[in-house]
Structure 1
């Protein structure tokens, strides 16, 4: 999740500011919720994949790396919760601040990268099942995963060389201080293009073609069509809720800070700033929503989940029955007692 420092990161300009601290009130409960749900869901999914490691498939390698990217970020959330509860005061040192921000970027753009790999795999498996899929092996998927990590690392590394602190009170900015805001805006725009926009176009193209093929071919099983449509829905949800608003309003806010540094005030500046704060709360949800991908690329995990739901339903049903029986027995005993008095 991106954790900008609300009002303190903005320039000391004469432009009107938003008169409240959004991050300190909204982000801690969101981070705590994401930490609990994300850790449980990703931990369970990774455990299921590793338990069936001998049956590992090409697509499971991408899902495994997706889960590792989530775990990497989730482990930094307790430190960010402390940061916001202490009113944007960072007590863990500048080096760990940069490591925390680096882990966020690895999670965000690693998730986008591996979701793109899953989309391309689904496309190849549907459109070119014989000509291409027989040539792909698990070794290829491992090599592609290493390339994704390297690419994301190279894209994220320059961020660590920008100042993350300013003033007497220790901070942990997710972008940088006002002094280098122009350079950071240029870097952010290039990062958005290569790390988000291009993978997003690839994902849209792959699934757009897949949907056309599924609708045209009557030979494809209904279950296969349903699973593909569900995965498409999950990807649309992730991009529309988590990724698109974040990148739009992050860059708009950076641009407004550049204008404010030049003493230029815009009417839309505060609106973009507030929207960016909300998008920062939404983008961290990807670590809690990514486990939904497990359910639609691995049949065994889906079967395990159905079994858990059935067991929970049976236990709940038995508890209701036992409670009803207890009430019935109590009423019968009370009736007997009342009759014995007359």
Structure 2
């Protein structure tokens, strides 16, 4: 039986019976696929941005942060693979149990907020090019990136706080030892964690993303005829990243909403089924860390010819060029306005001189 929490409260573990095994084959297959594809892919992205780019744009730096977060979270996959191979038994201690799940939560929040930051950057570049040209600097970028990481580190704290080692129940398949599982002292704690994940990792960020991309599409439709320029490669890339992230994380966050509803309705059987499904969806969520490098490669090969080692370099360099174009057009417009004002001022000065000369001659 699971250990009772301190204070005599009856705790809620992950599925009512600690050690009940999830569908092992499906979870292991997803983790192996994510590890084999995502880890080398993200390291390739890091190498390309650091060593191959001639000039690192704001988007390139954000993609670098995203690849670093994905690569680091994939390093925890062997721990979960070992746990699945041991039928749920955790051999690495409680500290590693809490740290591994905490870093998975950090990666979830970091990924979605970096994608939000990229979409807001694109919106600013399309809707306010002059302001974007002023703000798109490393002096403004690094505080925003730091804010994303600090926010993710804070929001992921419940993942570490509620994970602990417990003894497996009788009849479980775990061959002795302890099990790393979620333990909520009361239903209110479960409501707090799952409501926070559903709201902060899905509902709020994707509401911002939807509004941003609607505004971008409207601005592009209005300015396409004026500037006569196609949509940039990076807009397609960010849209693909958004779609892949939505495909992977939407089921997990919708499961959080379903479990919150089940807890409010005191439907314990539905809560247990949600926890069993959660284990598979967490393994599926690891694929989000391997999608992004594939998207970079596909976007590069589709938009820049056959795939090669330099496709990501060309893709990100083309983004810098596409951003400079509206900025340069805006700068030309601003310069023309200034030149007209200077010319008008010179004409006023010449007119005043002529009037003063005429007055002196009459006198």
TM-score bracket relative to the smaller structure: 0.7 to 0.9
CA distance in 2, matches of 1:98, 1:278: 19
**Corresponding residue number in structure 2 for 1:128:** 128
User: Structure 2 vs 1, CA of residues 229 and 64 (structure 1 numbering), >3 Å: closer, same or farther?
Assistant: closer
TM-score normalised by the chain length of structure 1: 0.74
User: Structure 2 vs 1, CA of residues 164 and 180 (structure 1 numbering), >3 Å: closer, same or farther?
Assistant: farther
**Corresponding residue number in structure 2 for 1:287:** 289
1:209 aligns with 2:208: no
**Corresponding residue number in structure 2 for 1:9:** 14
- Cα deviation per residue 1:150-169 (whole Å; 9 max; x = unaligned)? 01101112332224222254
- Cα deviation per residue 1:110-168 (whole Å; 9 max; x = unaligned)? 10010111111111111111233333202211111111100110111233222422225
CA distance in 1, matches of 2:309, 2:283: 30
- Cα deviation per residue 1:11-63 (whole Å; 9 max; x = unaligned)? 259xxxxxx84342211111011001001111111100000466111111211
Q: Please, which runs of 5 or more residues in structure 1 have no aligned partner? A: 1-7, 14-19, 311-342
- Cα deviation per residue 1:265-290 (whole Å; 9 max; x = unaligned)? 56x65764565444333321110112
CA RMSD of aligned residues (A): 3.2
Q: Give secondary structure in 1 for the equivalent of 2:193.
A: helix
Checking the alignment, whether the CA contact within 8 Å between 1:231 and 1:293 is kept in structure 2 is no
- Which one of the candidate residues 162, 169, 179 is aligned to 1:171? 179
**Corresponding residue number in structure 1 for 2:308:** 307
- Cα deviation per residue 1:197-243 (whole Å; 9 max; x = unaligned)? 2111111111111112222322455642565245324312321x111
**Corresponding residue number in structure 2 for 1:114:** 114
Checking the alignment, whether the CA contact within 8 Å between 1:234 and 1:292 is kept in structure 2 is no
1:103 shift after superposition: 1.2
**Corresponding residue number in structure 2 for 1:325:** none
User: 276-285 or 54-63: which moved more?
Assistant: 276-285
**Corresponding residue number in structure 1 for 2:341:** none
User: Structure 2 vs 1, CA of residues 171 and 254 (structure 1 numbering), >3 Å: closer, same or farther?
Assistant: farther
Please show how residues 144-163 of structure 1 align to structure 2 within 5 Å. 144-163=144-163
- Cα deviation per residue 1:232-266 (whole Å; 9 max; x = unaligned)? 24312321x11111111134236546766xxx456
Please show how residues 1-342 of structure 1 align to structure 2 within 5 Å. 9-11=14-16, 21-52=21-52, 55-168=55-168, 169-173=177-181, 176-177=182-183, 179-216=185-222, 217-220=224-227, 223-224=230-231, 227-239=234-246, 241-253=247-259, 256=262, 264=267, 272=274, 275-292=277-294, 294=296, 306-308=307-309
Q: Give secondary structure in 2 for the equivalent of 1:224.
A: coil
1:9 shift after superposition: 2.6
- Cα deviation per residue 1:171-222 (whole Å; 9 max; x = unaligned)? 122xx22544431322321233223321111111111111122223224556
User: Structure 2 vs 1, CA of residues 304 and 107 (structure 1 numbering), >3 Å: closer, same or farther?
Assistant: farther
CA distance in 2, matches of 1:229, 1:296: 11
User: Structure 2 vs 1, CA of residues 185 and 242 (structure 1 numbering), >3 Å: closer, same or farther?
Assistant: same
CA distance in 2, matches of 1:193, 1:187: 10
TM-score normalised by the chain length of structure 2: 0.70
* Number of residues of Structure 1 aligned to a counterpart in Structure 2: 289
Checking the alignment, whether the CA contact within 8 Å between 2:31 and 2:284 is kept in structure 1 is no
1:292 shift after superposition: 4.6
- Cα deviation per residue 1:73-131 (whole Å; 9 max; x = unaligned)? 01111111011011001001110111111111111111001011111111111111123
User: Structure 2 vs 1, CA of residues 12 and 89 (structure 1 numbering), >3 Å: closer, same or farther?
Assistant: closer
Question: Which structure dedicates a bigger proportion of its chain to strand?
Answer: 2
